[in-house]
Structure 1
Amino acid sequence: MSVLRITSYFYICRRTVAMLKLGKRSLIKKHVQSVRYKPISLLKGLVCLVSRGIAVGMAALNGKPGQRCSVAEWESSNRLMSNTAAQSRLASQRIRQEGRALRDETANKTQWDKSDSSRRLSERIQEVSNWKGRLESCAQDVDQEIKVLTKIKEEAEQALSATVVPLEVSTECLTIRERRRGRELLIDPVEAELRKEVEVIGRAQRSLQQRIKKAFQRLWSTTPQQWEQFSRYNVSRAEKEMLASLQLREDIILTIAQVQNELQAQYISTNFALRKQAHHLQQAYDGLLWQQKTTKEEIAELERDICGLEEDLRAKEAPLKLVHTRLENRTMRPGVDLCQDQVQCGLLDEAKQLDGTVTSLKQKLSQAQHSLQILKQHEACMEEDLSCKSDALSLEQQSLETRKHLANVSRDQLASGTVTSLTKSTRDGELQP
């Protein structure tokens, strides 16, 4: 920064201070803006600093700001303070006396309440101890019944799991058979048995799921949660639940046996229907194959006959041309020699016979060609039908192969781990095997 600029800034400061003392603040901004060399931010900062310094100096000369009070007001304030302190002490003494009386009263009441509560607790402890023995005995019985019911529920779950593979196999067989084509896509006994098998398995699953759900609900319904108020009710309820659990276990075992029998019967029926249908389809396929073979042989024979007819037709062309040539040449005989002699009659008969022969051969050739066309069309139909039957037979065999997987799944899984002897309950609530 040059000396000229520094001199200008000091000049501005001096003029600004003078204007502030004279109270001409409105002229300061105009004076600053009239300077040639002016960083405005620096000039404004100088103006603010000078203004603050002058304001502080003026305040110190004028004295400490604030409202001042008189001597009477000061004495009145002192008296008010003394009276307030005296009233506060009186209120504090009254509160202390009331507090001491309340302490004595509450101490006596607390001691009495403590003694009364101790007596009631002793009586309650004795009552709870009496019920504890009965509840422990009942809880043991309930635990035993829960274990047995849990075991039966697990067996039912195993039986339910064992129905998954048969259902998948039956569904897959139905899906496989849906790929049949043409007239082989029919509603046959196999499809009826497969759909019936799916329905039987679904019904079995729903029955088992219902029993499992009831067993699950039953397992959570025998826990005594509110024994404090309903101990006697819990004992009676536990005995009833154990009896209900016994009945439920019997129902589950019966359901497992019924499901096993139904699935086994349906499995046998479906397999029989599949084998029967496959046998009938194989017979139809073999018969149609023989028909196709015979038709092909007939087509070959007919084609050879057609070739023979065509050769005969070609062979008749030369004699026919010869007889017509002879007849045409004989028409050139002169005079009375142009007569109907035996030769002329013979040639006419020969021409007529040859025309009839050619007509018969052409007619027979047309019939043979028409028959050949029909045979070839029928052969094409048989070929397509054989393809459909071959696909259907392959699908039936695939279904049989798929159902062979069920042989690896033991039907005894539905009854695996089944309790051999039902649990009996005595009148006292004790369980005996």
Structure 2
Amino acid sequence: MQMIELKTVKARMESDWSDKVHTYNIDSLCVNLTNDSSLLLWRAGATRIPADQSTPTSYENFTQEALAAGESARQKSINLRSTLNKMYIESIKDLRHQATCVDVALAENVKLTQDCLQQLEKELLCCLNELASTEKLIEELRDSTKGLNNAMKLAQTRLDNRLNRPNVESCRDAVQFALIEEAKSLGEQTSAMLAELKRTEESQANLVKARGTLEHEIMVKRKTLYIDKERGQVLRSFFPSTTDLSGF
């Protein structure tokens, strides 16, 4: 709108200036005419007064209005440039302030991600150690179960062999009752051992699942850290300075 106003006033003043130059040339010619000039001719009707002819007052008013319109448009343009310059400076300050806030927030996020990554890695190490201990315990329980099975086989074999004693020799003596108690005790120990083995295997499965979750979270955090630190912060280090934003 300011450009349109300036162009309109410019066109008006150029037209007025052109008319005044033309008028000046005519009046200069008239001043230089004498009774002996070769350009003197009969001009019928030269003494008439055209209806659209201006008066000195209207002439002066028209000229003053044109000058006032030009000065007004010029002042508006100056004021607009001053206002735009202030707005531009404030915008640059806001951009730099926002960029600083983003850099601080990004640095804090990178630090938090690094701390979280370290905690996850420590947790993963503990999980791996616990998993190794659990696997070792499972092997020990299986070996113990195998030993109990062999002991049960021994007790059952002894009892079965003693059932083959002939006639009165097949006696319910203390040895037989001791073998029966031994077989019962071994059966209870085996059941308890198998239950413990099952619980340990379930714990192992949970640890394996937890390890997978931790490894996935570590991978995600490392990817996030790479994007924020190796790419985000590096790219933001090329953020235009105040001088660049000002166009210099």
| TM-score when normalising by structure 2 | 0.75
Pick the structure with greater CA Rg.
1
Q: Is the 8 A contact 1:218 1:245 kept in 2?
A: no
Q: 2:238 matched to which residue of 1? A: 405
Distance 2:245 2:91 in 1: 8
- TM alignment of 1:331-346, pairs within 5 A: 331-346=163-178
Q: Which runs of 5+ in 2 are unaligned?
A: 20-58
How far has the Cα of 1:262 moved from its partner?
Answer: 0.8
> Secondary structure at 1:316's aligned position in 2?
helix
How far has the Cα of 1:232 moved from its partner?
Answer: 3.2
Instruction: Tell whether 2:11 aligns with 1:220.
Output: no
- TM alignment of 1:23-422, pairs within 5 A: 216-217=3-4, 219-223=6-10, 224-227=13-16, 228=19, 230-397=62-229, 398-406=231-239, 409-415=240-246
Distance 2:67 2:109 in 1: 62
Q: Which runs of 5+ in 1 are unaligned?
A: 1-213, 418-433
Distance 1:353 1:251 in 2: 98
Distance 2:128 2:158 in 1: 46
Length, aligned pairs only: 202
Change (3 A) 1:281 1:217: farther
> Secondary structure at 1:289's aligned position in 2?
helix
Change (3 A) 1:286 1:309: same
> Structure 2 counterpart of 1:413, which letter?
D
Distance 1:226 1:219 in 2: 14
| TM-score when normalising by structure 1 | 0.44
> Structure 2 counterpart of 1:412, which letter?
T
How far has the Cα of 1:348 moved from its partner?
Answer: 0.9
> Secondary structure at 2:149's aligned position in 1?
helix
> Structure 2 counterpart of 1:339, which letter?
C
> Structure 1 counterpart of 2:241, which letter?
S
Deviations 1:79-104 (A, max 9, x none): xxxxxxxxxxxxxxxxxxxxxxxxxx
Distance 1:242 1:347 in 2: 120
How far has the Cα of 1:355 moved from its partner?
Answer: 1.0
Task: Name which of structure 1's ranges 221-230 and 352-361 shifts more when overlaid on structure 2.
Answer: 221-230
How far has the Cα of 1:405 moved from its partner?
Answer: 0.5
> Structure 1 counterpart of 2:15, which letter?
Q
How far has the Cα of 1:413 moved from its partner?
Answer: 3.4
Q: 1:135 matched to which residue of 2? A: none
Distance 1:318 1:245 in 2: 106
Distance 2:238 2:4 in 1: 35
Deviations 1:45-99 (A, max 9, x none): xxxxxxxxxxxxxxxxxxxxxxxxxxxxxxxxxxxxxxxxxxxxxxxxxxxxxxx
How far has the Cα of 1:316 moved from its partner?
Answer: 2.0
Distance 1:412 1:218 in 2: 32
Distance 1:343 1:330 in 2: 10
How far has the Cα of 1:362 moved from its partner?
Answer: 1.3
Q: What is the RMSD of the two structures over their aligned residues, measured on CA atoms?
A: 2.0
Q: Is the 8 A contact 1:313 1:361 kept in 2?
A: yes
Higher RCO structure, 1 or 2 (CA under 8 Å, sep 6+):
2
